[in-house]
Structure 1
Amino acid sequence: MDNSTAVAAHGRKTYQWAGAGDLNAFFGLMIDNIGVMILTTSLLVLGYGFPRDFVLTRMIPGTAVGVLVGDLIFTVAAFRLARRSGRADVTAMPLGLDTPSTFGSVILIIGPAFLAAKGRGLEATAAAEHAWFLGITMLLASGVFKLACAPFGGWVRRMVPRAGLLGSLAAIALVLISFLPLLDVAGHPVAGFASLIVVLATLTARWRLPGRFPGAVFAVALGCLVFYGMNLAGLGAGADGTAPSTLLRFALPFPMAAWWTWFATAWPEALGYLPVAIPLALATVVGGIDCTESAAAVGDEYSTGAIVAAEGFATLVAGGFGGVIQSTPYIGHPAYKAMGARAGYTLATALFVGAAGVFGYFDWIFFLIPKAVVFPILVFVGLEITAQSFHATPFRHYPAVAFACVPALAYLALITINQVLPEVGKPFDRLQPSTQHWIATATMLSGGFIVTSLLWGAALAHLIDGRVGSTVGALILAGVFSWFGVIHSPLPSGAIMSPARVVAELKTQGRTAATAGQTPYHWAASYGVMAVVVLILGALGEPPRPESAETPEGV
């Protein structure tokens, strides 16, 4: 008896696609997405100096459309599953903007490309358009990559150790998603920490508010009340920026013709950013597989390939309309199901977020809601990703997850250096030799840190498992990447090129003394030496026993 016959035999139930639980779920999913859109706009406008209207009318609409399309697809998928299974309690998969790739795209791709274009003499709007087209390119590449991965979900999970992939995500979560937004929260500590404690209590510690009121909504509302109350009392700093000029506006760019003209000449530059974009896309693919499994664990059996393909399609659509941030299934389907959510919350999120970007009322949300009161939600997301990274990893691989975080710490140090040096008025060539060497080393450790984290974590996880061949393979791949500057590039720009060109460029910039002994040749050789040592160890040593790796000695 097939599934449809069994359903018919037991009688079908009418799908209750909307209910009271959808309200709480909608606020949670919607605020997550709006928070990421605020983060994107803040980083670009306040962090890099992008023209605000350019971001709001060119980048945000397409980004919001990606959420619209993805959540509509997931809504339809819930209806189809309910019809196929005959169940009335099917919960739609949640989809939204991916927070790790938001930081990765803005801080490692779009922002640096904007500053580099301005350094070449382009005025702000032209530089913003160049960076925008580069962001579109990376988003389209991510969408194509996800669609290509959709039929091979199981293979992807087997090839990429969780310690490597989740370790790189934990690095982004701690350093970028939690720490950098926390600076904005601490910038207005009274309102920011009022919101933060509600977020930690309701979302992290799982306290329930009366009437199951959404914790994220209460946190933002309380923070806004404190923030504007202090302003009325003359104790606050006032709102950031200027109010939008219009109540509503329509903006839905379709930049493909202009983008194609740009891409015909700029593709070599775009190629250099793929080592950042593709690992971020890979993370969402594996995340989509995990989210599908978590949904199956509570009774909602979605097709893994279809879920990954849907997020890939939504990402492509976003890029086609000028978006720069990829969409992904969100962790937490079981929590939404426990709320009593069905498909109404994803439908409402799709319409609200999509309309906010296209019709412009997101401009007012960005102006009225202080970053200090909404960014605590990002702090929670960073903590949750970090906790999940360890929870979903075998105990014996915990050191690999921690090891994968180290390159991100170098990137954090580099951010601090780049913030301080211009202010103290000391260019690189006027610093003490020891300081130059320290900065050069931090630059190389942080270069391509997402890929470095993945490879370091994977190599150590394989080593812990006694898998010599896989460990050597990860180290050789790291050596090849360092040879071409995909990781550990000594150039501040992180450009990908041959070692000979890198050395020549270092001479031109006067950095040869600071990078002595740390050229791409040296980095590639270092990984080669590590691979040889592991091979010798595999031939002469005794691999660890699984039980010895699970229980640390002396604890």
Structure 2
Amino acid sequence: MNNIPSRRWLTPGDLNGFLGLVVDNLSIMAFLATALIGIFGFPADIVFLHMFPGTALGVLLGNLAYTAMARKLARQSGREDVTAMPLGLDAPTSIGMALLVLGPAFLHFKQSGMDEHAAAVATWQLGMASLVVMGVLKFVLSFFGAAVQRHVPRAGLLGSIAGIALVLMGFLPLVEILKVPVVGFAGLGVVLYALVARGRLPFGLPGVLVAFVIGALLYYVLGPLGWLGTGYHAPAAWQWRFALPLPTLQWMQGIAYTVPYLPLILPFGLLMVVGGINVTESARAAGDDYSTRDILLVEALATLVAGFCGGVAQTTPYIGQPSYKAMGARSGYTLLTGVVIGLGGVFGYLSNLVELVPLSVLAPILVFVAIGITVQAFEATPMRYAAAVVFSFFPAIARMVTIKLSDPTYVSPEHFGALFNDRAHGISELAVITVLGNGFIITSMIWASFVVALIDGKAARGALILLLGGALSLFGLIHSVEPAGGVYLPWLLDTGERSLVWQFAGAYLVLAVVLLLLSLQRTDVNKMSKSSA
């Protein structure tokens, strides 16, 4: 009987995990709404009454499935400490959908003569269709996930997501924290004290809850007094926005709109498959052995359902499973998160929370999750591969810089394009950064994998990995020479872009040849040493 896991649906650690996962999803939905409404002037009602309900439904269904998978694994393994895989909205592609697809499409529809409402509806239909396209792609590729996992070293799998964690889940939220430092830094300090240093809080309260309460109190007490400067914004009036995420065929009207954006949409789906493989490896390293295929199938189906019901942001298994495990979360936190997010999309309180809670209050938990993921990449990888893990961070750093520089509130699209295409003195620095960051997850895996091969003394294997990287770069799956990161057929590009493609692909080819020659030299040395012996 001692081997039978507890049948409790909730543990004290599940509250921490629930708050962390809800905050994570809220922060992404807040960015989506802020970008569309604040940057592009998108009608708020379309975002909150049409986009949010279906998007939240995908989170609900995915988390319910992952909860069931965790309960099943606990029964089969006889362990009580199985932690469910967290599922939520993907940050990089949600940012990309808002800034590179939905926002520009809305402006394009208005410029083509549609009135604002018609342009918003057409953009919503484009968003739905994009999710359906990505969901179908992920469903097909989910059956090949385990094969990738068998052939990519752990340093490549964990290093790539640690890079995402460090710069996208860690640094970008840290910027939001320091926009209102009095509020955000206090919340971050509490999170570090309670969850990193394992300090005890009064009455045993969860660290995430205390950090959230302290941040909200500081914001809403000091803000009206003028002590937060321009960092305080009065909350919008509470509104009940009831909308059922019912299946609709309107996504079919958006299929035609997706054609110009397929070079962006398809890589978004591909990156989520790769990310799903990586997070499954991350959970396995933490002790929870989930089926890679099942994790990817749930992700694909949740995305498809969200698209059918009006959603515009794809779901993905989150990379912080070991961090939630460290909080003491089991399977209750995903159940609670799914229900709260799903019902929030229906009854409208999710949109009110997005309008009410500032990012400076939400962001500290994201920084903690980022720290946990980055630490795990080193702890779960043999120390001799640490250099490979670090090397895999650079493409993610480039992607973060590109995200900030391509934000139209910083640099106008026209100026960005002029800087990107400035080849007066060779490849422009902005082009190098952007091209390095495009397809960054796959690039990180390739870079870490070939360094691991070198460390293991397998230069020929490293050369083959580099040849794969060169082939992928030819078609823009990595190092896309289009600023938005689209894929292409290289012979259809203009002369300048084609030249960039050949240079990056040629770099991989040249290094592969060098490594092959070095591997032959090493073989000759080994033969000489054996003959002399």
TM-score normalised by the chain length of structure 2? 0.83
Q: Report the more deviating stretch, 360-369 or 264-273.
A: 264-273
1:527 match:
508
The Cα of 1:360 is off from its aligned counterpart by 0.6
Matched, 1:389 2:377: yes
Tell me if structure 2 keeps the 8 A contact 1:35–1:377: no
SS at match of 2:199: coil
1:549 match:
none
Alignment of 1:178-189 (within 5 A): 178-189=170-181
1:428 match:
418
The Cα of 1:293 is off from its aligned counterpart by 6.2
Q: Which amino acid aligns with 2:303?
A: T
Matched, 1:246 2:239: yes
Tell me if structure 2 keeps the 8 A contact 1:67–1:96: yes
1:14-69 Cα offsets, whole Å, 9 max, x none, are 83434655545443443343344334434444455544333322332222212221
The Cα of 1:334 is off from its aligned counterpart by 8.8
Q: 1:472 aligns with which of 460, 463, 478?
A: 463
CA distance in 2, matches of 1:542, 1:177: 44
The Cα of 1:356 is off from its aligned counterpart by 0.8
Counterparts in 2 of 1:544 and 1:283: CA distance versus 1, 3 Å: farther
Q: Give unpaired runs (5+ residues) of structure 2.
A: 527-533
The Cα of 1:369 is off from its aligned counterpart by 1.0
Tell me if structure 2 keeps the 8 A contact 1:114–1:127: no
1:453-504 Cα offsets, whole Å, 9 max, x none, are 2222222222222334432232122222222233333332434333333224
Q: Which amino acid aligns with 1:537?
A: L
Tell me if structure 1 keeps the 8 A contact 2:158–2:278: no
The Cα of 1:354 is off from its aligned counterpart by 0.9
CA distance in 2, matches of 1:386, 1:14: 31
Q: 1:327 aligns with which of 306, 312, 316?
A: 316
SS at match of 1:273: helix
2:91 match:
102
Tell me if structure 2 keeps the 8 A contact 1:185–1:192: yes
The Cα of 1:143 is off from its aligned counterpart by 4.3
2:155 match:
163
Tell me if structure 2 keeps the 8 A contact 1:24–1:213: no
Matched, 1:499 2:490: yes
Q: 1:538 aligns with which of 492, 513, 519?
A: 519
Matched, 1:205 2:186: no
SS at match of 2:317: strand
SS at match of 1:232: coil
Q: Report the more deviating stretch, 274-283 or 73-82.
A: 73-82
Q: Report the more deviating stretch, 437-446 or 217-226.
A: 437-446
Matched, 1:410 2:398: yes
Matched, 1:364 2:357: no
2:479 match:
488
Counterparts in 2 of 1:524 and 1:260: CA distance versus 1, 3 Å: same
Counterparts in 2 of 1:453 and 1:128: CA distance versus 1, 3 Å: farther
Count of aligned pairs: 517
Tell me if structure 1 keeps the 8 A contact 2:53–2:310: yes
Q: Which amino acid aligns with 1:183?
A: V
Q: Which amino acid aligns with 1:198?
A: V
Aligned CA RMSD, in angstroms, stands at 3.8
CA distance in 2, matches of 1:92, 1:502: 47
Q: 1:443 aligns with which of 420, 426, 434?
A: 434
CA distance in 1, matches of 2:146, 2:213: 42
The Cα of 1:331 is off from its aligned counterpart by 4.1
Q: Report the more deviating stretch, 359-368 or 60-69.
A: 60-69
Q: Which amino acid aligns with 1:521?
A: W
Tell me if structure 1 keeps the 8 A contact 2:282–2:322: no
The Cα of 1:226 is off from its aligned counterpart by 0.8
Tell me if structure 1 keeps the 8 A contact 2:242–2:348: yes
Q: 1:399 aligns with which of 380, 384, 387?
A: 387
SS at match of 1:541: helix
Q: Which amino acid aligns with 1:473?
A: L
TM-score normalised by the chain length of structure 1? 0.80
Counterparts in 2 of 1:396 and 1:405: CA distance versus 1, 3 Å: same
CA distance in 1, matches of 2:21, 2:65: 16
Matched, 1:273 2:283: no
CA distance in 2, matches of 1:30, 1:271: 31
Counterparts in 2 of 1:203 and 1:495: CA distance versus 1, 3 Å: same
Counterparts in 2 of 1:291 and 1:146: CA distance versus 1, 3 Å: farther
Tell me if structure 2 keeps the 8 A contact 1:408–1:450: yes
Matched, 1:229 2:221: yes
The Cα of 1:193 is off from its aligned counterpart by 1.0
Tell me if structure 1 keeps the 8 A contact 2:52–2:345: yes
